[in-house]
Amino acid sequence: MEEQSRVDVANIVRKYEQEAKEEGEKKANYILAQATTRYAGEFAGERLINTITLPSDEHKGRIIGKEGRNIKSLEMLLGVDIIIDETPGVIVVSSFNLYRRAIATRVIEILVEDGRIHPARIEEVHEKVQKEFEQKTFEEGESIVIDLGLYPMAEELMRLLGRMKYRASYGQNALAHTLEVANLAKVMAANMGGDEKLALRAGLLHDIGKALTQEHGGSHVELGVELCRKYHEHPTVINAIYAHHGYEEPDSVESAAVCAADKLSAARPGARREVLESFTKRVEEIEEIATAKESVTSAYAINAGREIRVFVNADKISDSESVLLSKEIAKEIEEKVQYPGAIKVNVIRETRATAYAK
């Protein structure tokens, strides 16, 4: 009886242990799911939106304008989503493109401060801010090069380095990654008897092509090599650009250091997130399909990639042809892009006539 009881007790214990384990796993998964959901919201918010504080709610009406003409003009010109809701004293600027979003935020801040908000003023401020940003990115790039002791460097390369501040790869800021790789490569090369200054330069320029991919498309490796050859950079720099993605074998200690540093920077916990990158790649692809068409001057994917606004040259295309163009773009997106739901294609054709009374 004692032996039988021991067997029964063992069975009961095992049963409840199994139930506790299953229940524990469910509970743990639930907690992880909750934590992930909350963190994902903060993460997406941090990387896809900018918040602008307004002096008063009256400014919301001015930004919207009569019959919404101001907000339409802002969204069309800046290529971003402007979200105005019940939150007091705040509007949200949303776009996957960091550079475009930063320009839009600055334009709206100037308009709010100035108080004059109308389509002509919006265009004037946008043009001014674009020039300011071009100068600012050059100064930031130049400052990085001087601080690292790598001056002189071609002006175009310094400008593109500054531009990388507004670029992300798998959720990781491209400029922060570049500086991390450059400094790691310098330390490794120094410890292996290599030229630490050359390793620093190669690390700084290894991803320079990423500053051009949003405008030009294509591989950042090929774009980077083309740029560095154009400005007569050292062969080791060019080899490092090729080697860090396996296009060539590293031919020096400095190139090998850059390859190792790149992997270390990208692989460290929390450095990158695949989901955001796949989203931005999809949205970029939608824009590229539209801009590749003849007579298209610019195209902006908005509303988290569920809508695209395509601006065409009124001298090269008629209203009837605009309808056909929208269908062509929609058809090509269907064939080439994987996306959930539907994507709305808006083709916008505008004719302007200007005259001066003297």
Give the pLDDT confidence of 55-97 residue by residue, as tens digits: 888 888 889 888 888 998 898 888 888 988 888 888 999 887 8
Lowest mean pLDDT of 164-168, 246-250, 263-267, name the range: 263-267
Query: pLDDT tens digit string along 172-195?
Result: 778 888 998 898 888 888 888 889
CATH fold label, 275-349: Alpha-Beta Plaits (3.30.70)
Full 3-state SS string of 168-196:
EECCEEHHHHHHHHHHHHHHHHHHCCCCH
Whether residue 38 is predicted with pLDDT greater than 60 in this model: the reply is no
| pTM for the predicted model, two decimal places | 0.63
Instruction: Inform me whether the pLDDT recorded for 310 exceeds 70.
Output: yes
- Classified by CATH at the fold level, domain 167-267 comes out as Hypothetical protein af1432 (1.10.3210)
For the chain, give every domain's residue range.
50-134, 167-267, 275-349
pLDDT value of position 67: 86
Q: What is the pLDDT of residue 211?
A: 83
Residues in the chain: 358
Tell me what the mean pLDDT of segment 23-50 comes to. 60
Is the pLDDT score of 119 beyond 50?
yes
Q: How confident is the model at residue 32 (pLDDT cuts 50, 70, 90)?
A: low
Q: What's the pLDDT at 40?
A: 47
Digit-coded pLDDT (tens) for 227-247: 999 999 999 999 999 998 888
Bigger pLDDT: 201 or 98?
Answer: 201
**Contact assessment for residue 193 and residue 253, using Cβ atoms and an 8 Å cutoff:** yes
* Residue 155's pLDDT band (cuts 50, 70, 90): very high
- Whole-number pLDDT of residue 177: 87
Q: Which CATH architecture fits 50-134?
A: 2-Layer Sandwich (3.30)
Rg (CA), the chain: 26
